[in-house]
Amino acid sequence: MNHLQAIRTRHSVRTFQARPLEPEPRRALAQAVERCTRGPFGTAVRLVLCELGETERRASQALWTYGVIRNASTFLAGAVVPSPIAAVDYGHCVERFILEATKLGLGTCWLRRETARRSGTRCAPPTSRCARCAPRLRRPRPPGPGSGGSSPAASRSPSS
**C-alpha to C-alpha distance for 127 and 119, rounded to whole angstroms:** 12
Give ∠ CA 47-63-94 in degrees, rounded to 5.
20
Q: Where are the domains of the chain?
A: 3-140
Higher pLDDT, 115 or 7: 7
pTM reported for the whole predicted model: 0.66
57-68 in b/e burial notation, b at 16+ Cβ within 10 A?
A: beebbeebbeee
% of the chain surpassing 70 pLDDT = 60
Domain 3-140 in CATH 3.40.109.10 = yes
Q: Residue 90: which pLDDT band, with cuts at 50, 70 and 90? A: very high
**Among the ranges given (5-19, 46-60, 71-85, 107-121), the one the predictor scored with the smallest mean pLDDT:** 107-121
- Does residue 77 surpass a pLDDT of 70? yes
pLDDT at 112: 67
- Does residue 63 surpass a pLDDT of 60? no
CA 72, 105, 7, 76 torsion: positive or negative?
Answer: positive
